[in-house]
Amino acid sequence: MMNAPDDYCELCELAKSQCVHGRPPPPPVARKTVAAPRPAKRPSARKRPAAAPAKAVIRRWTPPEVFKPHIITVLEQAGGELEADDVFVELQGLVEDRLLPKDTETTPEGELRWRYAARRARVALIDEGVMTKSRPGIWQLAPRHQHLG
């Protein structure tokens, strides 16, 4: 037990229970250490071996790029615009002998793979400015790309 003179701080004359000097120091705060930044890699002086020749890609279905010129042809023959269903009918007549066996299978959503690829080709043609998004269900060439057939 502490007696009265020991209970007061000599520096501030307060009771040690109330004085900042009489309290034990707070525990140290754990700080997150930040890793030092890694130095940038310097380019290697040695030459890398030449890349192996590209393997031939065996396609399971026709890529969208194949459909682009055929879509343009169908739309040009139709005067620049056509309903989507009619585009698919005309397109099928142009490409059916070139379709791969898996093109006639359906996607998980239930759409024929070649039609899905044709729709992706349309989106690419819109991004390239060859086609426009005019009205839902209508595929249309951009005005500068229309050539009446």
Domains in the chain: ranges and CATH: 64-145 (1.10.10)
**Mapped to the 3 state alphabet, what secondary structure does 4-64 carry?**
CHHHECCCCCCECCCCCCCCCCCCCCCCCCCCCCCCCCCCCCCCCCCCCCCCCCCCCCCCH
Q: What single DSSP character describes residue 81?
A: E
Q: 2 or 73: whose pLDDT is higher?
A: 73
Q: What's the whole-number mean pLDDT along residues 125-143?
A: 93
pLDDT in tens, 18-41: 766 666 666 677 776 666 677 677
Q: How many CB atoms lie within 10 A of CB 122?
A: 21
pTM of the predicted model as reported, rounded to 2 decimal places: 0.60
pLDDT for residue 128: 95
